[in-house]
Structures are given as structure tokens and as C-alpha cells.
């Protein structure tokens, strides 16, 4: 046996093992974690930088995240300004990973207008909470499929099959949502939240959104904004208002007490909750939010 032949034989034995090493994917939102895990299957090892229930508006990477990023082959983020730390993290880690952002495949974005701010600012921002629109989640599923296939062409068929299966579940969810929303008269589709995060849900189902704080839950509401919102709730006879999972519901209730509206239940604005919540998966979050809204406003 020649040395060359032995080398070829050796490579022939080793190559399939190397090819089977899982593709290392780092995710920057829990819906991306779910999609990458579902579509990637055993061919992919997903590391979530943002754990379930983490607040994407205030997330800051830990020093150990630099090492995770350095070893990544694909980074999946949202875009929309939700990852202001990313450029620095990429530079510090020296990662050569591809970066794919949900923003790149979301065709119809929803602006957020500060309607009750009581101040004359007219600029429009884009709602970054893309995961509340099923069309967005479908588009991101295809993005993830394509990115994984580009990096592991040998497994492209598996990624495609799993993406199709995941999209079928999204179709079922969409059909369920149409039945659910049909029970709520259009005149009652008024959504009062403290954090303006449901622009895509509102667009899909004809809700008008009234929010106290705008898209960033860190911002403090003004007294004028609060008074305007209380007036509106009384005038429109809106039955319920909705705190979100990252804040104290009693605070919203106290602020809006004189409006006469009740607390409609907690919504998951910034993504799925932890494993012990009714919103542990994307579909769980979506169903929980819509059921809670429709049930309280009906």
C-alpha cells in the first residue's frame, strides 16, 4: 500500500465524520432560537445568547459570549436596532461567522407612531417586534433554511423538509387565529398596552394600538400621555388594558385606574417566556396573546 493510497483511505474514513460536525449557530432572539433548532435539527448546534424571557431591549452580552461568537459559523439576529452591541461583539470576538438578520427579509414593516405622547414629534419608527406577524416568521424560516443550506449544502434537503414542516405549523396557527379573531367585533379591536410592541398583530387583525410608552419599555410615560390615554379609554369605552410580561401589571392598573378599564391579562411582547410559562414556544406565545386580547375585549 502506497503512502498516498493510505492517506486517501484515511481521509475517506474521516471525511464523513468531519462533515457531520454540527453547524454552530448563535441566536440573538428566542424566536430565532426556535426556528434554527426546528429547521437545523441534528445538523446544527444552536447557542442562544438571549435566553427565553430575556428582554431584548436591555440585553448586554457577557464576556463569555465573545468566545461563543468566535466559534460561531452563523449568527442570527433581528436587526431593527435591537442589537446595538453586535458590531462591537463581532469585532472583539474576531468571528468569521455569516450574519443574517430577520430585518432583511421582512417586506412590509409597520411604523410606530407616537400618538398619545402629547408632544409634537412626527418621526416614525419601525416596530422591531417582527415575531408578532406570522408572515414575518414564515419569511425568517425561509431565511434560516437558506443560510443553513449555504453553509451545509449536504444537508440542504433536510433543512428544506424541516422548514416546510415548520411553515405548515404556522399555517395551522394562522387558520386558528382567523377563527379566534372572528369572534371580536371590529369596533372592539382597540389595544391599550404600556409598551407598543404589537404593530404586526394589529395590522394583521385590524386593531388600533394606543400605547403609553412607545416601543422602548425603558422610557417613562409623561403625565400628559397618561391623561390623554385615560380620556381615550373612557371615550371609546375600552374594556381592558394589557401589561406585558416584563413589567409590573399593578403599575399599569394604578396609572389607568380612573379610566375604568380592567387588566386584560399579561401579554408576551418581547418573545416567548420561559419553560414554566404558557408562552414557552412561539406558537404558545402567539396563541396566548391573541386569546388573552380577544377574551378580555369581547
Interface with Zn ion by CB under 5 A: which residues? 197, 270
What CA–CA distance (Å, rounded) separates 289 from 238?
A: 18
Closest approach of Zn ion to the CB of residue 195, in Å:
6
Angle between helices 156-181 and 134-151 (to 10 degrees): 180
Nearest to 148 by CA among 202, 193, 98: 98
User: Would you say 148 or 252 has its CB closer to Zn ion?
Assistant: 252
Q: For residue 24, give the 3-state DSSP assignment.
A: strand
Helices and strands (DSSP H and E) totals, the chain: 10, 10
User: Would you say 43 or 270 has its CB closer to Zn ion?
Assistant: 270
User: Would you say 61 or 271 has its CB closer to Zn ion?
Assistant: 271
Strands 74-77 and 111-112 come out as unpaired
User: Would you say 197 or 212 has its CB closer to Zn ion?
Assistant: 197
Closest approach of Zn ion to the CB of residue 220, in Å:
16
User: Would you say 60 or 179 has its CB closer to Zn ion?
Assistant: 60
Residues 287/173, Cβ–Cβ less than 8 Å: yes
Closest approach of Zn ion to the CB of residue 233, in Å:
22
Closest approach of Zn ion to the CB of residue 57, in Å:
5
What CA–CA distance (Å, rounded) separates 63 from 242?
A: 36
Closest approach of Zn ion to the CB of residue 273, in Å:
13
Amino acid at each position: 500500500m502506497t503512502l498516498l493510497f493510505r492517506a486517501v483511505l484515511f481521509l475517506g474514513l474521516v471525511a464523513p465524520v468531519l462533515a457531520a460536525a454540527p453547524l454552530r449557530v448563535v441566536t440573538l432572539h428566542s424566536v430565532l432560537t426556535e426556528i434554527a433548532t426546528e429547521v437545523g435539527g441534528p445538523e446544527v448546534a444552536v447557542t442562544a445568547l438571549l435566553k427565553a424571557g430575556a428582554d431584548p431591549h436591555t440585553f448586554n452580552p457577557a464576556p463569555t459570549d465573545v468566545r461563543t461568537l468566535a466559534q460561531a459559523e452563523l449568527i442570527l439576529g433581528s436587526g431593527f436596532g435591537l442589537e446595538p452591541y453586535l458590531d462591537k461583539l463581532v469585532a472583539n470576538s474576531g468571528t468569521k461567522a455569516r450574519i443574517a438578520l430577520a430585518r432583511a427579509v421582512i417586506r412590509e414593516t409597520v411604523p410606530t407612531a407616537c400618538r398619545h405622547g402629547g408632544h409634537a414629534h412626527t418621526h416614525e419608527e419601525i416596530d422591531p417586534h417582527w415575531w408578532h406577524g406570522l408572515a414575518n416568521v414564515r419569511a425568517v424560516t425561509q431565511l434560516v433554511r437558506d443560510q443553513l443550506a449555504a453553509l451545509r449544502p449536504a444537508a440542504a434537503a433536510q433543512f428544506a423538509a424541516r422548514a416546510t414542516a415548520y411553515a405548515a405549523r404556522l399555517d395551522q396557527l394562522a387558520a386558528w387565529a382567523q377563527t379566534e379573531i372572528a369572534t371580536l367585533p371590529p369596533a372592539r379591536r382597540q389595544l391599550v398596552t404600556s409598551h407598543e410592541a404589537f404593530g404586526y398583530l394589529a395590522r394583521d387583525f385590524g386593531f388600533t394600538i394606543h400605547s403609553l410608552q412607545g416601543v422602548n419599555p425603558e422610557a417613562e410615560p409623561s403625565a400628559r400621555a397618561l391623561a390623554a390615554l385615560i380620556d381615550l379609554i373612557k371615550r371609546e369605552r375600552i374594556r381592558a388594558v394589557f401589561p406585558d410580561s416584563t413589567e409590573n401589571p399593578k403599575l399599569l392598573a394604578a396609572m389607568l385606574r380612573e379610566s375604568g378599564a380592567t387588566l386584560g391579562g399579561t401579554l408576551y411582547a418581547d418573545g416567548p417566556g420561559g419553560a414554566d410559562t404558557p408562552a414557552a414556544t412561539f406558537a404558545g406565545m402567539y396563541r396566548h396573546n391573541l386569546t388573552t386580547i380577544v377574551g378580555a375585549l369581547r
